[in-house]
A and B are shown apart, each in its own frame.
Chain A
Amino acid sequence: MDAPGTPLVVLDHVNKHYGDLHVLNDINLTIAKGEVVVVIGPSGSGKSTLCRAINRLETIDDGTISIDGQPLPSEGAALAKLRANVGMVFQSFNLFAHKTILQNVTLGPIAVSKKSKAEADGRAMELLERVGVANQAKKMPAQLSGGQQQRVAIARALAMQPSVMLFDEPTSALDPEMINEVLDVMVGLAKEGMTMIVVTHEMGFARRAADRVVFMADGRIVEDTTPAEFFDHPKSERAKDFLSKILTH
């Protein structure tokens, strides 16, 4: 294990276009081991694309992304191996609909990491316990509430023992009363030193758990600072405008 503070995720002059749209515009971002970075910004600013580029669910046009010093492989087994090391939690949970909760968590360890079923089951139950849904292990995803499903999705990602976790608006598909149960799990992870990149508009989470806030607009990183600084003293007009909108509604 490297000490906290060594760069883990490095984006260097990353650009991506969708046709004429410049969704990622010269992105430079370094995330150190153990750091929790909240990415915030208006709809369409490229936050999801950024997240998805980091585990190469989206390709980039130019620039480099490296994880733990390794540039992202382009395809094949090397890419699969890298993805196992980068956990991802989606807005829409995406639990495997044909598998039980327990199987959702064990499928990766068994199929990808070649763990024995017994070992995978044991570890999965620990993780489900930790996110508070161990008693649902035998159910199917559709039988769980959104908040429960998202916590299972976090357990599924953790089961691969990733060195960084990406969250793309993990609470925005949830009913308000379920948001905190998911955020609490995420705060716990942050406290334990997990490296996290979290796209969210939950200011409470950002203030409680984030080391940095990255504000994106029109495909660029406009501000990159501490949560207190960002929320209390935003520098750019874009950020001030954006904050006034999310604060007033």
Chain B
Amino acid sequence: MVIFDNLPLYLEAFLQTLALLLLTIVLALPLGAVIAAMRISPIGSLRATATVYTEILRNTPLVLVFIFCFVVLPILGVILPFMFSAVLALTLYTAPFFAEAIRSGINGVPVGQAEAARSIGMTFGQTVTLVVLPQAIRSVIPPIINVMIALTKNTSIAGGFFIFELFNSGRRLVNENGDQVILVLVGVAAFYLLITIPLGQLADFLERRVVIRR
């Protein structure tokens, strides 16, 4: 059967998808946290910068961001390895989604918490990192994992840009096994599910673990 015959190829592609996913999370999550902090900061120019960035990236198709990183940047003289460009595109695109997820969680923390923190002399940074974010975590986890699940699927765009990940492997296998298209695609889907289903379960688990009573 086509799936088992091509298992090494699938695995190679799966690992590439996983690498795209993990590298993007590692970069986009902190970037998203910074953007979220900028959006609630007392400094107007930071708020404006973060808002504009968020709105532009969230409303641009991911393919355009990829084209920017793979076509426009080289024209401007910035030549990066393909994998680097792909992670850059995914990071730029995903960070604002993380930022919005974090911001909605932050908005759920009563303002009195931040006021109490400020009233004992905490700086804005301390208020956010020591008091607000730790309490926002619980309500932030489900939307953040949703962003990760969307990101998992979005990594497939990289398949159109020279990265041999799951979607690309599916395309190649379809070309080589025209008679078994459905099976090839089932195999691809199964590998995506291998990532997204555990993510969903992780969300449930963490949500139950990190409970803050009021």
Q: Which residues of A contact B (CB under 8 A)?
A: 55, 57, 75-77, 80-88, 90, 92, 94-98, 107-108, 111-113, 140, 142-143, 153, 156-157, 159-160
CA distance A107 to B126 in the complex (A): 10
| Size of interface on B: residues with Cβ below 8 Å to A | 21
Residues of B within 8 A of A143 (CB): 213
Residues of B within 8 A of A96 (CB): 113, 116-117, 131, 135
Q: A92-B112, A142-B214 are in contact. Are A87 and B119 (CB under 8 A)?
A: yes
Q: Is the CB of B118 within 8 A of A83?
A: yes
Interface residues of B in 124-182 (CB under 8 A from A): 126, 130-131, 134-135
Q: Is the CB of B213 within 8 A of A142?
A: yes
CA distance A83 to B118 in the complex (A): 7
CA distance A83 to B116 in the complex (A): 10
CA distance A203 to B113 in the complex (A): 29
Q: Which residues of B contact A (CB under 8 A)?
A: 42, 110, 112-113, 115-123, 126, 130-131, 134-135, 212-214
CA distance A96 to B118 in the complex (A): 12
Which residue on chain A has the smallest CB distance to residue B120?
A108
Known: A76-B123, A107-B130, A107-B131. 5 other contacts (CB 8 A): A55-B119, A83-B120, A88-B119, A94-B110, A97-B113
Distance in Å from the Cβ of A72 to the closest Cβ of chain B? 13
Q: Is the CB of A77 within 8 A of B123?
A: yes
CA distance A60 to B130 in the complex (A): 28
Q: Which of A57, A98, A111, A140 has the most CB of B within 10 A?
A: A98
Distance in Å from the Cβ of A111 to the closest Cβ of chain B? 5
Residues of B within 8 A of A84 (CB): 120-121
CA distance A97 to B126 in the complex (A): 16
CA distance A83 to B121 in the complex (A): 5
Residues of A within 8 A of B130 (CB): 107, 111
Residues of A within 8 A of B117 (CB): 96
Distance in Å from the Cβ of B125 to the closest Cβ of chain A? 10
CA distance A111 to B121 in the complex (A): 9
CA distance A55 to B118 in the complex (A): 9
Distance in Å from the Cβ of A102 to the closest Cβ of chain B? 15
Residues of B within 8 A of A108 (CB): 120-122
Which residue on chain A has the smallest CB distance to residue B123?
A80
Which residue on chain A has the smallest CB distance to residue B117?
A96
CA distance A85 to B119 in the complex (A): 9
Q: Is the CB of A140 within 8 A of B121?
A: no
CA distance A142 to B110 in the complex (A): 14
Q: Is the CB of A57 within 8 A of B119?
A: yes
Residues of B within 8 A of A157 (CB): 119-120
Show 15 residue pairs from A and B whose CB-CB distance is below 8 angstroms, ordered by the A residue: A55-B119, A76-B123, A84-B120, A94-B110, A96-B116, A96-B131, A96-B135, A97-B213, A98-B212, A107-B130, A107-B131, A108-B122, A112-B122, A143-B213, A159-B120
